[in-house]
Amino acid sequence: MKYNEIVGNIVSIDRQITKKPLDYKQILSKYGKKKFITILGKMIKNRFLDEEIIQLIKEGVAIHQHPTVGQEASQTVAFSLLEKEDYGVPNHRGWGWAIGKGLDLKRMMAELMGKKTGYCRGKGGPYLADRENNLFLRSGIQGSYVSLAAGIALGLKMQQSNNVCLCLFGDGSSNAGYVHEGMNIAATSKLPVIYFCENNLYALFTPYQETTSVADIADRAVGYGIPGYIVDGMDAFAVIEVMTEAIKRARNGEGPTLIESKTYRYEGHTAYDKFSYGGYRSKEEVEEWKKRDPITLFTQRLLEFNLLTSQELESLKEKTREEIKEAVEYATQSAYPEPEDYLEQVYAEKEVFF
C-alpha cells in the first residue's frame, strides 16, 4: 500500500467534492503564529516521548506502549484544536491525544510507570484520564468509545453547552457494532461530536482492506446523513483545516462529522512487534511513507510562511528534550501506590454531574 495509492494528490476531501486543494491563506488567517508553534511543539513532544518510551522498554522499564511515530499530524493536531472545556475520548494508540489536550508530561510519565503521582495515582497506566481537562478514561473494548462519546455529547446538548466532544478511533475499530450504533444516535440527535478515525492501514498486523468493506471509511458517513471527510493525515495543515470546520459545525448545533485521517505508523503495533519492517509490511512501503514525515512537512511550511525560524526550531527541540528528561526523572523517583491506595477511587464519594 503505497502512499500515492492511498492518498494521491488529495489533501482534504468533502464527499461531495472530487478534489479540494488546501487554502493556506484561509487557515493562516484563523490562527496566529503562537498557535502554529504550539501545535508543532506538541507534535515534537509526541515524537520524542514515543522514542523515549521505546528506549525505556528496551532497557526493561515496564510501560505498555503503542507507538504513534509518524502519526503526529493526526491525533496530536486534532486534540490541540480543542478548548480546555471541550471533551476528549481517546483510543488505545499512543499519547498524542493527551499531549494535544495539554496534560502535564511529568504526571503522564508517572502514570505510565504506575506511580502514585500520576493522573490516576498509578492505577490507570496507559488508561490515563484527567477530569480537569475533560479527557475521559478510554474503554478497554475497541470501538466502544464511539458510543460513549455520543453519550457525552448528548449530555452537552441537554445542558445547552457550547462545548464539543472529539472521539478518536482506528481503522480496525471502525468495523465494530458500537461504532455504527454510536454514530447513528449522534446523527439522529445532531449531537456535538467529532468522530476522528486514524486509518494507519493496519489493524495490528492485518491490512485494512482485508477487514473493511469500503476503500474509504469516510464513505460510511453517507449512511448516517452526516459529512464525511478524508484528510491527508501526514499534513498538519490539512488536519487543521478539516477539524476547524468540524468543530464549527458541532458548536453551531449542526451535528457530528466523520473524519478519516489517512496516516501511517513507522513502528510496529507495539514495541515488541518485530515484523513491521520487512515482514507484514515491506521495507519499501515504510520508507516511502517516511518521505512525507508530518513533522518535517509542517516545519517546512512554517519556515516558508515565516512563522518559524531555524533558531526557534532548535530551541523548541532542546526544550522538549529537557522536559522529557525531567519527566522521566520525576516518574522514576516517584513512589508506587501503597496497598491501601488501591481501595480508594473505587466508588464515587459524591454525586458527579458531567
DSSP for 140-209, please give it: SSTTHHHHHHHHHHHHHHHTT-S--EEEEEETTGGGSHHHHHHHHHHHHTT-SEEEEEEE-SEETTEEGG
Kindly state the cell numbers that stand for 136. Answer: 475521559
* Mean pLDDT of all residues belonging to the chain: 89
Q: Which residue has the higher pLDDT, 267 or 12?
A: 267
**Cα gap 16→223, rounded to integer Å:** 14
**Residue 198 falls inside a structural domain:** yes
- B/e letters for 281-299, b = 16+ CB within 10 Å, e = fewer, are beeebbeebeebbbbebbb
* DSSP label at residue 11: S
Residues noted as catalytic: 265, 269, 280
Which whole number is the average pLDDT over 50-75?
A: 91
Classify residue 170: in a domain, yes or no: yes
**pLDDT band (50, 70, 90) for residue 20:** low
Residue at 246 is within a domain: yes
Q: What is the mean pLDDT of residues 113-135?
A: 90
Check: CB of residue 199 under 8 Å from CB of residue 260: yes
Q: What is the mean pLDDT of residues 317-332?
A: 97
- Considering the domain boundaries, does residue 241 fall inside one? yes
Distance, CA of 220 to CA of 63 (rounded, Å): 35
Per-residue pLDDT tens over the stretch 220-266: 999 999 999 999 999 999 999 999 999 999 999 999 999 999 999 99
The parent domain of residue 24 ranges over 3-331
Rounded to whole angstroms, the Cα distance separating 213 from 274 reads 28
Region 98-116: mean pLDDT is 95
CATH number for the domain that contains residue 80: 3.40.50.970
What are the b/e assignments for 184-223, b being 16+ CB within 10 Å? bbbbebbbbbbbbbbbbbbbeeeebeeebeeebbbebbee
User: Does 346 map to a domain?
Assistant: no
Q: Is residue 168 part of a domain?
A: yes
pLDDT-derived band at 5, boundaries 50, 70, 90: low
Mean pLDDT of 131-140: 85
pLDDT at 354 over 70: no
Amino acid making up residue 36 = F
345 within some domain: no
Consecutive H or E run containing 41: helix 33-58
Does residue 342 belong to any structural domain of this protein?
no
When divided into structural domains, the chain yields a total of 1
The DSSP result for 283-338, as a single string, is HHHHHHHHTT-HHHHHHHHHHHTTS--HHHHHHHHHHHHHHHHHHHHHHHHSPPPP
